[in-house]
Copies of this chain bind each other. A is one copy, B any other.
Amino acid sequence: MLVVAQKIVSKAEGRLVDLATIEPSARAVALAADVGKDPRLVEVVLSESVRVVRARRGVLIVEHRLGFIMANAGVDQSNVGPPDGSQRVLLLPENPDRSAQALRRGLAALTGIDIAVVINDSFGRPWRQGTAGVAIGAAGLPALIDLRGQPDLFGRRLEFTIIGFADEIAAAASLLMGQADEALPAVLIRGLRWSAPESTAASIVRSPNEDLFR
């Protein structure tokens, strides 16, 4: 299992935008004033989003076009590149599940090894401080493991449990990657086993009609 940071996947895919090239819309200018952010950054965030979920001073939480509810649509200025006078920001990969699949196939072609791939990012959460690693792309593994109907240790049938398998993998790798100047954008995990069918990170997104917090 290879866990790869969103940031290097986005860079490899050329998902950089120079804010100097952005002309903010009236909507972005107004929203930027509300949240206290650069209107050009807000314009880029909106271009990656389908909906603003919460906007407060310093906070802009949106529904990303991929379905993820996240701050700033994942548009990020940290660890983008050396200071060179430009104001570049980095977007999420266009289709992180496809990126994970491509990486998985590429590694198989180069090495003959069948290896699962997770692309991770760090998301803030409601109710709890601090970010935690989550999977935004997955290939070759179950993103979720549905245990409903399985027995517990004492034979009692589990009623509700679905494991956020890829997210827990992403969090584990995130512990090692760090967020500052660790320069460790890929983590190899050995020895993890599973038997559930493969699924994508897109399948993790809870459908709006099942979601009580939109």
Contacts and interface: CB of A to CB of B under 8 A. Distances in A.
A169 B130 CA distance: 13
Interface string A176-207: 00111111000000001000000000011110
Contacts of A69: 126-127
B164 A130 contact: yes
A126 B213 contact: yes
Q: Chain A interface residue count: which class?
A: 35 or more
A130 B61 contact: no
Interface stretch (A17-25, A99-107, A131-139): A131-139
Nearest to A133: B168
A12 to B, nearest CB: 16
Interface string A149-174: 01111111011011111011101101
B125 A164 contact: yes
8 contacts: A56-B212, A61-B212, A69-B127, A122-B163, A125-B125, A128-B206, A132-B171, A161-B179
Contacts of A112: none
Contacts of A82: 154-155
